[in-house]
Amino acid sequence: MELQDLILIAATYLGLLSLCKALINFLIWVWAMFFRPSKNLKEYGSWAMITGSTDGIGKALAFELGSKGLNLLLVGRSPSKLEATSKEIHQKYGGKVETKSIVIDFAKSSGEEICKMIEGGIRGLDVGVLINNAGMAYPHVMYFHEVGLEMMESLVKVNIDGATWVTRAVLPGMLKKKKGAILNIGSASSMASYPLGVVYGATKAYLAMFSRCIGLEYRQQGIDIQCQIPLYVATKMIRGLKASRILVPSPEKYSKASLRWIGYEHICIPYWIHSVQWFVMHGLPEALLDWCIFEYSLSVRKRILNKMKRVKQ
Q: Which residues are catalytic?
A: 200
Q: Are 214 and 258 in contact (CB under 8 A)?
A: no
Query: What is the maximum alpha-carbon separation in the chain?
Result: 81
Sign of CA dihedral 57, 132, 105, 161: negative
User: Which one, of 135, 136, 131, 101, lies nearest residue 255 by Cα?
Assistant: 131
Q: Are 41 and 181 in contact (CB under 8 A)?
A: yes
What CA–CA distance (Å, rounded) separates 121 from 25?
A: 43
Cα angle value 40/41/46 (rounded, 5°) = 125
Whole-number Å distance between alpha carbons of 196 and 298? 8
> Other CB atoms closer than 10 Å to residue 186's CB: what's the count?
29
184 neighbors 226 (Cβ within 8 angstroms): yes
3-state helix, strand, coil in the chain (%, to 5): 60, 10, 30
